[in-house]
Amino acid sequence: MIIQDAREGKISPVIRSVAASEGLEDLQILNEISQGRIIIPVNRNHGKIQPLGIGKGLRTKVNANIGTSRDCSNIDEELRKLDVSIKAGADTIMDLSTGGDIDGIRREILRRSTVPVGTVPIYQVAIEAARNKKTLVDMTAEEIFSVIEQQAEDGVDFITVHCGLTREAAGRIKKEGRLMDVVSRGGSFTIAWMIHNKKENPLYEHFERLLDIALSYDMTLSLGDGLRPGCIADATDRGQIQELITLGELAQEALSKGVQVMIEGPGHVPIDQIESNILIQKSLCHGAPFYVLVPLVTDSAPGYDHITSAIGGAIAAMHGADFLCYVTPSEHLRLPTVDDVREGVIASKIAAHAADIAKGIKGAMNRDITMAKCRKKLDWEGQIKASLDPERARSIRGSSTPSDKDVCTMCGEFCAIKVLNKEENWGF
Amino acid sequence: MIIQDAREGKISPVIRSVAASEGLEDLQILNEISQGRIIIPVNRNHGKIQPLGIGKGLRTKVNANIGTSRDCSNIDEELRKLDVSIKAGADTIMDLSTGGDIDGIRREILRRSTVPVGTVPIYQVAIEAARNKKTLVDMTAEEIFSVIEQQAEDGVDFITVHCGLTREAAGRIKKEGRLMDVVSRGGSFTIAWMIHNKKENPLYEHFERLLDIALSYDMTLSLGDGLRPGCIADATDRGQIQELITLGELAQEALSKGVQVMIEGPGHVPIDQIESNILIQKSLCHGAPFYVLVPLVTDSAPGYDHITSAIGGAIAAMHGADFLCYVTPSEHLRLPTVDDVREGVIASKIAAHAADIAKGIKGAMNRDITMAKCRKKLDWEGQIKASLDPERARSIRGSSTPSDKDVCTMCGEFCAIKVLNKEENWGF
């Protein structure tokens, strides 16, 4: 048990591994885990993955969402996305499958992944209800917990659960008025269920039952933000903050029981509101790791949402977000292709890395210093090796051959570096 | 004369046109122009372009650099880049040609462009010196002013001139120590010239002569930052700020003579230093428009520098930068292709738009509100039309056909919007 071990002062192999990979002291990791400010999402049934820390003082991590849909349910394609994500540097994978054999796909992804795997169990519950009964609102609380238990047993490392989406919070968005109401799938399922069954959200009402399951498997809870804003105009409204208050209370309860927990955050947020969103989460949730989904800074760029989210993700991480969910160029338009997944992971890695430089994460500058030195020496092979995506850098440079091998086709002999490398003594 | 007219209280057609396109009052534009906080770069010999305002309270503008190099000097290709840039939304074009018939290319671009055109005249001077004499350091001060005068007469709307790059400022970067010294081409030419000729920068020494030329054609000066940092480690150092101090003095002198002026800025800058860079420029240069080149927030992502610069550009513009120079995916690797140019312009437009929302520029939210309403109605044609790049959005959506036409292949029937649009009365 990760939190219990930490609280007993036991430097477990998992803590040692995370400390080594971050270049930090074992005791620092141990202390932050016991306070709930760092998590290491590893289900005890998913043992062979490399332990990964998320939270205070650590490198900003990146998640890639993969998984089938009704219209695209080819498992081989999703496994290719898994491989491509990990190769591009994704730190975790979420399987969000909603089409085909959902149990089979998840188990295959768990078997193959070398990084922690997350899911959103309510998807499976709702889809099975829609398939086997009349509609998704026919799902029962029992079914929700049964699917969660099954996924925990399969070895899922972290699950998104929209426990803070109460009738009270949902009511507030109606009262205030929103352009887009709810854009979270899990959020919409939960609200539709609460409307039809005239009951409170079972994941809120029976939160202790959820904690028991999580504790049995050392599974991490990612407390979802079902009311995250779906457009800039809806950002940081009363419904969103109401849900966050509840998530803070639930996180405290989870932590007191020894369950690792992180908090999910918005969403579509204008640049000037991102810092406040991070600060209020950190304050209301006592420093719990913040998983952002990931501030899209404009609604108007479908086809380029990997860029809108790289802007928001970098700013969020710079102000303290710990974990960025990638967004691909096909967000809002279609299920991503393998190429989209790759582009999405790289864009988020760029955002995470730029933020890590800005917040002084240990070792973050090393790569940039290497790159700068190689550029100054006109060492092209060194530049390519220091790149976040060496294959892409090599391919672009290779596509346009300069007549002088030591420069590139943009400046040629008029390369600023080359011009001044000839001048040893400036005399001023 | 734009400044003179403004100071005489004359609401010229140019001012009226800019005010109309920004949705602001004529008098506000007039007042900011006379104080030097807004510029309208239009050379009196380049009359048929649409007047464009850059500066305080206006929409953030985007420049696209095009132009030949020795290794790639196909003029048709550059004219295609011009067309593609303007179609993608570039507000200005800079012709940075360093290969082929430089006069011919510039004149063709000036003839064809519907937006203001800028150049860096020292490129032509240095290249002609390298072609006709032994090396670029053989260029003379006379030749520099003669090329500037020629380009002004051809109708160039704004020129980059590295007037603040003095022997004193350059000396400071050596004294402090930099990883990459100088990465500005114009900066490196100027320093090499000062070293070999043992003289002060002629554009600093004879700044009044430059002002006379600029005034004759109403040509705007873009005071270049020859010492901008070329890597994160070199950001915001003493040489950079020394040059900026001088640029502030020169801008004040230009303004007092009635010459429109903007200031160029860094460069490679970590996220946490961007806001300070903007504030110090605005302070030292008395609010002159700031043209950023454009904060790259990490050195390590060649192949994706349109993304690293979109992050930096959005943050810079949010804090007051007025004008973003685009960066393409091929920056640091090759002369950009037509496709690269397109990607670069769109990435910068996204950054500019996101910043305009954040700083409350009039009308900036309209597009996002339209998009949000179309998304809520599942109106796909409306969403495509509201997109920054409708063609790209249409093509991605069209590549993956959903079985239900009102959703997309990511969520299908489990679309959050669709699930909740069915629920009219929540009851809480």
Kind of pairing between the strands at A61-66 and A323-325? parallel
Contact B428 A171 (CB under 8 A): yes
Q: Which residues in chain A touch residue B174, judged by CB atoms under 8 angstroms apart?
A: 426, 428
Same domain, B376 and B266: no
Q: What is the pLDDT of residue A310?
A: 98
CA distance A299 to chain B (A): 5
Has residue A426 been placed in a domain?
Answer: no
The rounded radius of gyration (Å) of the Cα atoms in chain A is 23
* A375 CB-near residues (< 8 Å, 6+ apart): A383, A417, B180, B230, B231, B299, B332
Contact B303 A387 (CB under 8 A): yes
Distance in angstroms (rounded) separating the CA atoms of residues A297 and A310: 9
Residue that has been written with the tokens 């040509």 in this structure: B219
Has residue B428 been placed in a domain?
Answer: no
Same domain, A9 and A54: no
Q: Which residues in chain A touch residue B304, judged by CB atoms under 8 angstroms apart?
A: 346-347, 350, 388-389, 392
Same domain, B291 and B148: yes
* pLDDT > 70: percent of chain A: 100
Distance in angstroms (rounded) separating the CA atoms of residues A31 and B410: 40
> Please, what is the average pLDDT of chain A?
97
ipTM above 0.90, yes or no: yes
pLDDT tens readout for residues B90-137: 999 999 999 999 999 999 999 999 999 999 999 999 999 999 998 999
Q: What is the pLDDT of residue B34?
A: 98
Q: Which residues in chain A touch residue B420, judged by CB atoms under 8 angstroms apart?
A: 181-182, 188, 191-192
Contact B372 A270 (CB under 8 A): no
Nearest 5°: the CA angle B211, A416, B128 is 60
Same domain, B152 and B7: no
| Nearest residue on chain A to B273, alpha-carbon basis | A358
Q: What is the CATH number of the domain that holds A85?
A: 3.20.20.540
Residue A47 has pLDDT above 80, yes or no: no
Same domain, B14 and B104: no
Q: Which residues in chain A touch residue B335, judged by CB atoms under 8 angstroms apart?
A: 400, 408-410
Q: Which residues in chain A touch residue B388, judged by CB atoms under 8 angstroms apart?
A: 300-301, 304
Contact A420 B174 (CB under 8 A): no
| Nearest residue on chain A to B65, alpha-carbon basis | A410
Same domain, B323 and B406: no
Average the pLDDT over A75-101 and give the result.
Answer: 97
Q: What is the pLDDT of residue B294?
A: 87
Same domain, A122 and A9: no
pLDDT tens readout for residues A149-171: 999 999 999 999 999 999 999 99
Contact A423 B195 (CB under 8 A): yes
Of the candidates A231, A271, A388, the beta carbon closest to that of B314 is on A271
Residue A48 has pLDDT above 90, yes or no: no
Has residue B325 been placed in a domain?
Answer: yes
Same domain, B350 and B416: no
Q: Which residues in chain B touch residue A351, judged by CB atoms under 8 angstroms apart?
A: 311
Helix H or strand E encompassing B264: strand B261-265
Has residue A250 been placed in a domain?
Answer: yes
| Nearest residue on chain B to A168, alpha-carbon basis | B428
Q: Which residues in chain A touch residue B393, judged by CB atoms under 8 angstroms apart?
A: 302-303, 333
Task: Report the residue of A307, A335, A349 to disrupt the B interface, i.e. the one with the largest count of B CBs within 10 Å.
Answer: A307
Has residue B427 been placed in a domain?
Answer: no
pLDDT tens readout for residues A7-37: 999 999 999 999 999 999 999 999 999 999 9
Residue that has been written with the tokens 């060492």 in this structure: A379
Total tally of structural domains belonging to chain B: 3
Q: What is the pLDDT of residue B392?
A: 97
Same domain, A263 and A167: yes
Has residue B378 been placed in a domain?
Answer: yes
Per DSSP, the three-state class of B251 is helix
Helix H or strand E encompassing B246: helix B238-257
Same domain, B392 and B281: no
- Among residues A324, A327, A300, the alpha carbon closest in space to that of A314 is found at A324
Low-confidence ranges of chain B (pLDDT < 70): none
Phi, psi of A118, deg, nearest 5 = -115, 165
Q: Which residues in chain B touch residue A355, judged by CB atoms under 8 angstroms apart?
A: 271
Return the axis-axis angle of helices B338-358 and B305-318, rounded to nearest 10°: 30
Same domain, B325 and B355: yes
Distance in angstroms (rounded) separating the CA atoms of residues B64 and B69: 16
Has residue A325 been placed in a domain?
Answer: yes
**Residue range of the domain that includes A214:** 42-359
Contact A311 B350 (CB under 8 A): yes
Distance in angstroms (rounded) separating the CA atoms of residues B378 and B398: 15
Largest CA-CA distance found in chain A, in angstroms, rounded: 84
pLDDT tens readout for residues A224-238: 999 999 999 999 999
| Nearest residue on chain A to B194, alpha-carbon basis | A426
Q: Which residues in chain A touch residue B198, judged by CB atoms under 8 angstroms apart?
A: 427
Has residue A428 been placed in a domain?
Answer: no
H, E, C per residue of chain A: CHHHHHHCCCCCHHHHHHHHHHCCCHHHHHHHHHHCCEECCCCCCCCCCCCCCEECCCCCEEEEEECCCCCCCCHHHHHHHHHHHHHHCCCEEEECCCCCCHHHHHHHHHHHCCCCEEECHHHHHHHHHHHHCCCHHHCCHHHHHHHHHHHHHHCCCEEEECCCCCHHHHHHHHHHCCCCCCCCHHHHHHHHHHHHHCCCCHHHHCHHHHHHHHHHHCCEEEECCCCCCCCHHHCCCHHHHHHHHHHHHHHHHHHHHCCCEEEEECCECCHHHHHHHHHHHHHHCCCCCEEECCCECCCCCCCCHHHHHHHHHHHHHHCCCCEEECCCCCCCCCCCCHHHHHHHHHHHHHHHHHHHHHCCCCCHHHHHHHHHHHHHCCCHHHHHHHCCCHHHHHHHHHCCCCCCCCCCCCCHHHCHHHHHHCCCCCCC
Task: Report the residue of B185, B272, B307 to disrupt the A interface, i.e. the one with the largest count of A CBs within 10 Å.
Answer: B307
CA distance B83 to chain A (A): 20
CA distance A293 to chain B (A): 16
Distance in angstroms (rounded) separating the CA atoms of residues B106 and A175: 59
Q: Which of A344, A359, A374 is the last residue of a domain?
A: A359
Same domain, B370 and B238: no
